Amino acid sequence: MNCMYFLLLIFAATTAAQAQQPKGYIQNDNGEKCWYTQITTEADTYFHSDGITSNTSTLTFDDPTCMTDGGTGLGLDVNKMMINNIITRPYSHSDADFQTRVPEMFPTSMFQIKGQCIQSKKYPIIGVTVDYIINNGSITQVKHGSAAGGCSDRS
């Protein structure tokens, strides 16, 4: 039974990138709506090594300066958390309780070669890979996909 449950969780996580919203907004640290468009690339190798492919979504903000630190010094971390809260939703059940704050994130997951990893508190085998593209102090794009298992401290 545990094996079947494991397979269902992995299936849900690997197909999640296909369920991402193509358009929407995420509030920044100043409460402003930062509108984005999102596309998914199937069988992508952006996050993983050894020929491992997965669906990778690329979220691009319409205004490249919207996700800038609003002057608090914590703005980019707050913006990352707000982004993480949105992008992790489709990767598991609603009770997954992902660790979306920047200090809670992990540096990697199995076979991951770039970005960071957002871990589910409830399901230890579910992680989400994420890489923030920052230009001129503002998050302009975010790439995300399923981790090959849970997140890890090893870098």
Report DSSP state, residue 110: T
> Does the structure show a pLDDT above 90 at 116?
yes
Pick from 13-22, 68-77, 100-109, 127-136: least confident: 13-22
Of the listed ranges 17-21, 61-65, 86-90, 131-135, the least confidently predicted one is 17-21
Residue 49, both tokens:
């090594």
Residue ranges with strand state E in 21-137: 23-27, 33-44, 54-61, 108-109, 116-119, 127-135
Average of pLDDT values for 75-104? 96
> What is the C-alpha to C-alpha distance for residues 52 and 31, in angstroms, rounded to an integer?
38
Q: Which of 16-25, 42-51, 69-78 has the lowest mean pLDDT?
A: 16-25
| 3-class secondary structure, 134 | strand
Tell me the torsion sign for CA atoms 92, 98, 100, 106: negative
Q: Which of the pair, 17 or 37, is modelled with greater confidence?
A: 37
- Residue spans per domain, the chain: 2-152
Is residue 5 scored above 80 in pLDDT? no
Specify which residues 27 forms β-bridges with.
Answer: 33
pLDDT score for 154: 79
Mean pLDDT calculated for residue range 111-138: 96
Cα–Cα distance, 50 to 53 (Å, whole number): 9
72 near 30, Cβ under 8 Å? Answer: no
Mean pLDDT of the chain: 88
Backbone dihedral angles phi then psi of residue 47, each to the nearest 5 degrees? -95, -25
Q: What is the pTM (predicted TM-score) of this model?
A: 0.86
Band the pLDDT of 8: cuts 50, 70, 90.
Answer: very low
